């Protein structure tokens, strides 16, 4: 398997692989162009997003600049998607976002995982776990979503939360670590 195939399969791979580095560089060039557009150039923005992202549900997509991602091709968004300023998605694994989702400013979604052992970490070997966000989800500002998390449908994640584990459908969750305060699984 190539290092990219390993990455996409969720296996340990070398993050310094030349093929992966070249793809990251290509994506950074596209992102640079996207972030340099004037806010009035919405048609150009949508054209770039259609080229960059793995799937877009419809043309009612808005991702306010600046936007950052690693590959783009691993990101799938549903219909009527809105993301505010400074969305960062590290998409070494799939990031799937459903219909009618709203993402506040300064949100980060991570799929890349690194060893806690310094020697292993310094080898630049890593793995990735997918993130899935359901339909009708609102993610407040400055939320961080960690690798492997699934957020169900009809969920609200409060501002500043760090989502470290799955959040079931119909919940309101807040905090660091993010805990359910209303809905399924609340106490």
Taking alpha carbons only, the member of 64, 58, 67 closest to residue 27 is 67
Distance of CA 167 to the CA centre of its chain: 16
- Position of tokens 């119909």? 170
Q: CA distances (Å), 184 to each of 17, 121, 160, 173, in order? A: 43, 37, 21, 10
Cα dihedral across residues 63, 136, 133, 139: positive or negative: positive
Q: Is 114 a catalytic residue?
A: yes
Cis peptide before 169, with omega less than 30 degrees from 0? no
Q: CA distances (Å), 73 to each of 9, 24, 108, 155, in order? A: 15, 11, 17, 25
Question: Which sequence positions are flagged as catalytic?
Answer: 114
């Amino acid at each position: 398997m190539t290092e990219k195939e390993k990455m996409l399969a969720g296996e340990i791979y070398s993050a310094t692989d030349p093929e992966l580095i070249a793809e990251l560089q290509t994506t950074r060039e596209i992102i640079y162009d996207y972030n340099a557009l004037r806010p009035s150039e919405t048609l150009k923005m949508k054209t770039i997003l259609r080229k960059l992202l793995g799937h877009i549900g419809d043309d009612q997509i808005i991702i306010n600049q600046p936007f950052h991602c690693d590959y783009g091709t691993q990101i799938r968004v549903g219909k009527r998607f809105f993301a505010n300023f400074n969305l960062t998605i590290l998409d070494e694994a799939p990031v799937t976002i459903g219909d009618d989702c709203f993402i506040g400013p300064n949100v980060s979604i991570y799929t890349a995982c690194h060893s806690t052992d310094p020697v292993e970490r310094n080898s630049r070997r890593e793995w990735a776990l997918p993130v899935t966000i359901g339909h009708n989800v609102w993610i407040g500002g400055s939320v961080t979503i960690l690798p492997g998390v699934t957020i169900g449908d009809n969920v609200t994640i409060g501002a500043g939360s760090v989502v470290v584990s799955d959040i079931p459908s119909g919940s309101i969750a807040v905090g660091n670590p993010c805990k359910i305060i209303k809905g399924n699984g609340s106490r």
